[in-house]
Amino acid sequence: MGVWNTEIKGNDTTLDIYSNFFDKYNNGGNQVWVSNEIKAEFEDYFSDSDDRNNSLFGLALAQWETKSLEPEIYKTVKEIIENGTDLDLWKELGADKKTLNDRKSELENFLKLISTEKPKAKRRVRPKFEFTTNELVKIRTIDGTKEFRVNEEFTNGKYIHTSGIMEWSSVVELE
C-alpha cells in the first residue's frame, strides 16, 4: 500500500480503483458494468488485507459520484469506518497518533459524504483522441514512379501497428 497522506485518495490503491473506474465510465461504460469490471480487474486488491479498505473506498467514491453506490459497498465501507478496522491497519503499519487522528477525521468526513445522495451524477469527460504517425522508411525509385513507405501509428500515445505501403504514381516528378 503506497500512502502519501491520510486523505481518502491519498494512496496508490484508491487512486488505481478510482481512476480506472472513470477511464471506463468516460469511455461510455454504464456504472454497473464498470463496477463489475473493476471488481474483476482488481480482484487481488479487494482480497488483500492491506489494500482491501482503500479499494472499497475508491470504488465507493466513484460509485457515489456517479449516483450508483451499491448498498452492499456502502454497508461494508460504513462497517470498516465505524469498527475502526482501517485505523487498526494503519496502527499495524506504524502510523503515529497524529496520523491516526487525521485519518479518523478523513474517514468520518468520507462516511458523511457518501451517506448523503449526490444531487447530480458526475458528467462523463470525453476522452481525448490523438492519432500520430511516425515515418520510419521512405524510398523512391530513381524514375520517381514508385514510393515505398513504412509508418508506425499511435493513438493517444499507445502503439497500434506498423504498416507499409507501395504507391505508384502516374505523373513523374522531374527534378
Read off the pTM. Answer: 0.72
| Per-residue confidence (pLDDT) for residue 144, from 0 to 100 | 83
- Please say if the pLDDT value at position 3 is more than 70: no
| Per-residue confidence (pLDDT) for residue 1, from 0 to 100 | 46
In sequence order, what are the residues at sequence separation of 6 or more whose Cβ sits closer than 8 angstroms to the Cβ of residue 28?
124
Over residues 118-132, the mean pLDDT reads: 86
Distance CA 32, CA 119 (A): 19
- The 10s digit of each residue's pLDDT in 71-116 is 999 999 999 999 999 999 999 989 999 999 999 999 999 999 999 9
| Per-residue confidence (pLDDT) for residue 168, from 0 to 100 | 86
| Per-residue confidence (pLDDT) for residue 100, from 0 to 100 | 94
